[in-house]
Chains A and B, each alone.
Chain A
C-alpha cells in the first residue's frame, strides 16, 4: 500500500474542487484504502457498546487523510464527503453486480439452497436498478443526483448535504423530495418501458 502525505490529499482535494476529474480518480483508491483500514480496525476492536458508525468512520478517515485536526475549511471537508459518497456508491454497486453475477453463474447452487440469499440476490438487482435510475436522473439534473448520492450513499443529513453543496437546507429538502419521487417512479414503472421519463434517449 502506498502511503500518501496529508498535503498530497489536501492538494488533490483542492484540485478536484477546481474541477480536476483526474484528481478524483487519484483520490478514490486512497480514500478507499483508508476507509477500509479504519473500518477493519473498528470492527475488530472490542469495546463496550461500540458500533460502527458511518459518520464516525468518515470523520476519522477525513482527519487522518487531511493530516491534522480541523484546520480544514468546509470546502475540503465537503469535498471529502463527496469523495466518500462516490467511493461508497462504487463499492456497493460493485458488490451488487458481483452478487447478481454469482446468482447467474457458479454460486447458483449455493444460493438456491438458501432462500434468504435468493431474496437478497433479487434485491441486488433492484439495487442495480436504483443505481441505473440515479444515473439517468443525474443526466437530467446533476444537483438532485448529488443530493441522493450524499444522503443515500454517504449518510449525510440535510444540513451537511446543504453545506457540501453550498445550497440552503430548504433547497436540499425540496430537491431530495422530488429526487425520491423521480427515482421511485423509475423503479415502479420498471425497466424497458419506452415511456418512462428517465430513460435516456
Chain B
C-alpha cells in the first residue's frame, strides 16, 4: 500500500470516528468516498477493527519488562511466568479471537492459576468469580498468614491516571470503614500494572444465591439480616462513602449467617470508566430512580436500593422482574411501582411493609433519612442499644435515630404546662419582695430621663447641641452591699422606694463627636473616656434627680488673652479667686448663707472665673443647699478646674446617711458635681491589691480558661483525626452561635455614620467568630465522649441539631426544661425569702443580672440582644456542667462518684454566691444542683438547656405586675416568647394525640 493511500484511509478513519451516530457516519463516508468504493471498504474495515481492538494492548508490558530486567524471567525456565508475560499482554479468548487481547472468557481463562504468587505476598488460591468489576481471587497472604480476597480491576483503570487517583482515594476512605457487617478493605496493590484491592475473605454465601436457593428468609432471620444491613450501610455512609451498587450479589452472609456488605463505593467508579458496555446484567433492577435517570446520587439512593433488597429478603421476590436488561430498563423507566409486599406475603408485619415502601418512595426526600432510621423503624429495632452493646461509639445520626419515641401522654403534658404557669405566677408575685428593681421607683422612662439629663446640662451652661448621645442604666452595687451589711433594720429595703440614695442610676453621655468605644462596641459611662472637650456625663436616680455631673472643659482657654503678662495676671487671679472661694466658704460656715455669697461671686467676676451657682445643681439633685455645710474639698475633679467646693450633710429624710457633695468649676461653668455616700470608694485612686482569694480565683480562672482552650483544641483535633467528631453538628452549632452573636452585635452596638464603624464591624465579627469557633471546637472536643458514654442524653439534642423540630422528644424535653427552669426561679426566690422566716437572717433581696440594667430596662431595641444573650448562655452553660461531670467521672472512674463530686462542686459554687449558712438556706441550696444534674441525667442535654433558658427568663427582665409600666415591654415580649416556646413544646410533645378523648360525653 502506498503511503499517501494509507494516510488517506487513516484520515477518513479518524473523521469517521468523530461521528458517533451510525447514520451520520454512513452518510459521511458515502459523501467522502464518493466513487471510491475500495477506499470506503477500507475505512469501514478499520471501523470494524476499531470495535474489536477496544481492549487490545491496553495493558502495558512494562511490568513484564521489569521482571525480565531482573533476570527472573528466563526464556527457557518458568513456563508459568512466561505465560504470565503473554497473559498480561495477550489475554487470549479461547482460540479464534485476536491474539493480543484482554477480554476474558471462561473460568479456565483466569489471569492467574492456583499457586501463583503475586508481589511475593499473595498466593492465588483460585478464581472466586468475575463480575462487571473484574476478577476476584481467593488468595493467602503469605506474610500475615491469613486468607484474603484479591479483586482485580478492569484493565482500562490502570492506564487512566485520573481515574486511578480517584480509585485510590475511594479505597483510602473505604479502608477506614470498620464494622462487623461490612467487608474490610485492606489495601491496594499493583501487579504488573494491574491495580487490585486486597480485602477480607468472607467464607460464606452471597445473599443472592441464598435467596435463589431458599426463596425468602424466615421472618425473624429476615429482620436480623435487615438490621445488620442497615448497621453496615450506616457505617459506610458515616464515612461519607456511598455504596452505589447495593444488591443481593454484593451482600455476603458469612459462616455464622452475619451480613457482610461488599463492593461499596467502587462500583460506580469502574462503571464510569468502562461505560455502559460493562454495566452488569441485573444491576438496573436495584437502581434508584435517580440513578437510572443519571442524576446525582445521595444517601437516599442507597436507601432506595436497600429497600429493594429488603423487599426481596422479606418476600423472596424481586421488586422488579424482567427477562433481560433491555426489558428491565424499559420496565424501570415506565414508572411502574412494585407490587405491595403484603400482596405477596399475607402475614407480613405491617411495620416491615411500611418501612420498605418508605424506602421505595420515588421522591428521595420522602425516604428515611438514614439507614439507621430504617433500622429503627424495623420491628423491635434499637441500633443505639446495639451499638453500645457492641462497644462502639454510635454516630451522631445513630443517636438522632434512636427509637426513643418520648411523646407525652396528654395529662402529663397538661400537668407540666400547668406547673409552668403556676411557677411563673408565683415567681412574678414573689419578685415584688425579692428583686431590687421592684423596690426602686421606676417612674420615669429612659426617654424622660434622657431629656431631663440634657436639660440639666443646658441649664449648667452646656447648651451646644450634641452630635452623639448614649444612655443606659447601672445598678449601684456598692450602695446595695452597704445596705445589706450595715443596715439591719427590718424595713431596710423599703427605704429604697424613695429612690434616694439611688440603687439604680440612669446615665447619659453626650459628645460633640461620635462616641466610639475603645476596643469594644459597648459604650458605658467610662468607655470611651470622657476626655474630649465638650463631653458630658450625667447620672440621675430613677426619679430624675442628679447624682453625678461631669463635663470636659475646652482644651484651649478662649477667654484668656494670649499676652504673656496677662497670663501671669490670670494665674494670680486664679489664686486670688481660690482664696476668695475659701474665704467665701468660711463665710458660709459663719453665716450659713452660702447661697447669696455664691451668687455674688459669680456675678461679680467679670471674666467668669468664679464658681457657678451651685444651688442650681443642688436643686437638680433634689437637695437644699441650705441644709449643707461647706467644707474643704477633698475629692479632686476628673478634669481641670479653677474652682472647687464641697459640702456635708445628710440625705433628705435619712439623717443616718451622711452625704458629701463635691463640686468643681472652670470659668464659671460646673465641670464636676457628685453626691458621695459613705459607701463610695475613691475608685480612681484605689490601688490594685487583690486579696488572696481574688488572686487564687484569677489564677484558677486563667488556668482553667487556657487549659480548656488547649485541651479542647487537642481533643477536637484528635477526635477529627480519629473521625469521631461530629463535624456537621459542630458546624451547625458554630454557625448558630455566630448568628446569635452577630444579631446581638447588630442590635446592641452603638452604630455611627463614621469610619469608626468599620472597626466596630470588625470587632463584632471578631467576637462572633471567636464564640463560634470556641463553641464548635468545644463541641468537637466534648461531644464524642458524651456520645460514647451517655448517648441517651443527647438524643433530642442531636435531633434538634439535625433540624428535626417536630420530634416529640424535642418538645418533651423543652417542656420539662421549662418546668424545672421555672422551678429553679421559685427556689431562688425561696432562698431569699425563706431563711429570714426562721429568724436567723434579715431579709435580703437579689440584684438580678447585670443584663437587666444593660438591656432589660432599655426598651424594644434591646430585646433581641438580650434574647440572643440568653440563648447563647443557655447553650453554653449545660456544656460546662457536662464537662465537669465528664471530668469527674473519668477521674473517679464511676458515674455515681462523678455525679457526687459534680454535685458538691455546684453546691459550693451556688452557695458561696447566695447562701447564708443556715439550715433552710443549705437545704434550698442543695435543691439547685440536684435539679440541674437530675434533669441532665434523667432527661438529657436539651432539657438542661431549656432549664437554663427558662431559669433566665425572669432575672434578665424587669418583672412587674404592672403591665402598663414603661419598662414592661421587654418583659412582656419575653413572656410572649416563652408562651410560644411552651405551646410549641406542648404541641410537639403530644405528637398528634388528641387532648380530650371525649370520655365524659360517652359516660
Contact = CB atoms under 8 A, between A and B. Distances in A.
A49 B187 contact: yes
B90 interface: yes
Interface string B803-822: 00000000000000000000
A151 B80 contact: no
Which one of B45, B70, B98, B160 has the greatest number of beta carbons of chain A within 10 Å?
B70
B83 interface: yes
B712 interface: no
A174 B14 contact: yes
Contacts of A46: 120
A181 B9 contact: no
A188 B6 contact: no
B379 interface: no
Contacts of A35: 66, 69
B50 A114 contact: no
Interface in A96-111: 98-99, 102, 107, 110
Given A92-B61, A123-B99, A148-B57, A49 B68 contact: no
A109 to B, nearest CB: 11
Contacts of B415: none
Contact of B189 (A51, A92, A141, A188): A51
Interface stretch (B71-79, B653-661, B872-880, B949-957): B71-79
A15 to B, nearest CB: 25
B528 to A, nearest CB: 58
B857 interface: no
B189 A151 contact: no
B160 A158 contact: yes
Contacts of A154: 60, 62
B491 to A, nearest CB: 87
Nearest to B79: A117
A76 B321 CA distance: 59
A120 interface: yes
Contact of A181 (B46, B61, B90, B159): B46
Contacts of B61: 88, 92, 152-153, 155
A158 B83 CA distance: 27
B510 to A, nearest CB: 69
Interface string B3-31: 10011011001100100000000000000
A80 to B, nearest CB: 14
A181 B190 contact: no
A82 interface: no
A89 B53 CA distance: 21
A152 B57 contact: yes
A140 B3 contact: yes
B161 A178 contact: no
Contacts of B46: 178, 181-182, 185
B96 to A, nearest CB: 11
- Chain A binding surface SS class: helix
A166 interface: no
B98 A184 contact: yes
A33 B69 CA distance: 9
Contacts of B53: 180-181, 183-184
A65 B905 CA distance: 70
B160 A184 contact: no
B60 A152 contact: yes
Nearest to A97: B75
A107 B76 CA distance: 7
Interface stretch (A3-11, A17-25, A126-134): A126-134
A158 B143 CA distance: 35
B52 interface: yes
Contact of A52 (B14, B52, B67, B71): B67
B83 A126 contact: no
B271 to A, nearest CB: 20
Interface in B408-466: none
A151 B60 contact: yes
Given A140-B6, A197-B42, A155 B62 contact: yes
Nearest to A196: B1
A40 B6 CA distance: 44
B616 to A, nearest CB: 87
Contacts of B887: none
B79 A151 contact: no
Given A88-B62, A178-B17, A187-B99, A160 B161 contact: yes
Contacts of A119: 83, 86
A60 to B, nearest CB: 11
A178 B10 contact: yes
Contacts of B65: 54, 88, 91-92, 153
Contacts of A152: 57, 60-61
A177 interface: yes
Contacts of A88: 61-62, 65
Interface in B685-740: none
5 contacts: A35-B66, A40-B70, A50-B121, A126-B86, A151-B60
Given A54-B63, A117-B79, 6 more contacts: A43-B72, A95-B75, A140-B3, A148-B57, A153-B65, A185-B46
Interface of B: 1-3, 6-7, 9-10, 13-14, 17, 42, 45-46, 49-50, 52-53, 56-57, 60-73, 75-76, 79-80, 82-83, 85-86, 89-90, 92, 98-100, 118-121, 143, 159-162, 164, 187, 189-193
The 10 A-B residue pairs with the shortest CB-CB distance, nearest first, are A155-B62, A155-B60, A54-B62, A123-B86, A117-B79, A184-B53, A51-B119, A120-B82, A88-B65, A157-B161
